[in-house]
Amino acid sequence: MNLKECSEILKSLDNVYIYTHIHPDGDALGSAFGLSLIMKKMGKRSKVVCLDTLPAYLSFVWKREEEDFECEKIITVDVADMSLLGDFGDKKIDLVIDHHENNKVDCDKKLCLPEMAATGEIIYELSLELGVALDKNIAECLYTAIATDTGCFKFSNANAHTFKTVSELVQLAPEGNFNYLNDPLFITKSIKQMRFESSIIQNLKFFFDGRLSVSVVTKELISSHGLTDEETGGVEQLGKIPEGVELAVTLKEREEGFKVSMRSSDSIDSSLICAAFGGGGHKRAAGCFIKGDSDSITKTIISYVEENNIL
């Protein structure tokens, strides 16, 4: 499906629920709420739905009045797999909008553009196809989506299209820039968060002569610093900071196992590694879920990397 075909479907929908993935990040919420606001400008009723508690640092995106109505159609945004919908994984999906390769959501109407750095870029392009004039609120949502999924434009997925899109969005910012969003998104942290991240850095484990780093984030570690899980976003990048690290693996404790997040250099396709364990994502940022304890999972990943001559 192309952008024009997707825009025609959006025109035909009403009373829409927009689902995004569990543990939502900036692209998930920015894209979902951006699309919802666009739908409302078209005279449609729409509502963003997510199972998880929404992170406080993104409250400027999601703290909006949401009207209750009976859902007729469901759109997923930034959802790569049905499992990422949690308890909503049994719902009938009517339209998929995403930028992950090999999208596995069960739906025959998909707009998947992996060349886009963020799903927020796709939503922006759809707004052009739909002829909907953006405003400050939509621009904030889409900027948040794009800026967070590119690491504030530091990652290799930030390309010419990314900067062109943001150059259009920034014209809708109050003073011609989004500095007021960048502080809460990328700079400001609580003392508790800083101490938590310091603890993770101090306990990093290194393998393959420092080319692979592993960090373990347990529920006990999070609670010992007085944080909630929603306040720990971004820790996946910490293991990539040390010089020489080509693959950073973060294990985050969940029920019956650990959520595994990988961040890699251009020479390693982390999505292929995660796919071997039932997950996926992007070349330089991917994830999966593995049952077991952190030690056994670490050994499993190290064995896989070694057997496949990845490092």
Could you tell me which residue, 155 or 305, shows the higher pLDDT? Answer: 305
Could you tell me which residue, 205 or 281, shows the higher pLDDT? Answer: 205
Who's near 262: CB < 8 A, 6+ residues apart? 247, 248, 249, 250, 270, 273, 274, 281, 285, 286, 287
Give the Cβ contact number of residue 209 at 10 Å: 8
pLDDT number for residue 172: 96
Size of the chain in residues = 311
Q: pLDDT tens digit string along 15-66?
A: 999 999 988 999 999 999 999 999 999 999 999 998 888 888 898 898 877 7
Read off the amino acid at residue 54. Answer: L
Residue 126 has pLDDT above 90, yes or no: yes
pLDDT number for residue 191: 96
pLDDT number for residue 51: 83
Q: pLDDT tens digit string along 80-93?
A: 989 889 888 888 99
Per DSSP bridges, beta strands 16-19 and 73-77 are: parallel
pLDDT number for residue 230: 83
Does this model's pTM top 0.75? My answer is: yes
pLDDT number for residue 66: 76
Residue 171 has pLDDT above 90, yes or no: yes
Could you tell me which residue, 284 or 251, shows the higher pLDDT? Answer: 251
Domains defined for the chain, CATH in brackets: 3-185 (3.90.1640.10), 191-307 (3.10.310.30)
Kindly indicate the confidence band of residue 303, based on its pLDDT and cuts at 50, 70 and 90.
Answer: very high
The whole-chain average pLDDT of the chain stands at: 94
pLDDT number for residue 229: 87
Work out the angle between the directed axes of helices 119-130 and 160-169 (0-180°, nearest 10): 60
Residue 258 has pLDDT above 80, yes or no: yes
Q: pLDDT tens digit string along 137-155?
A: 999 999 999 999 999 999 8
Structure tokens at 94: 């009517």
pLDDT number for residue 86: 85
What number of helices (H) and strands (E) belong to the chain? Answer: 11, 11
Q: What is the mean pLDDT of residues 83-107?
A: 91
Question: What pairs with residue 287 in β-bridges?
Answer: 261, 280
Please tell me the distance from the alpha carbon of residue 163 to that of residue 178, in angstroms, as a whole number.
14
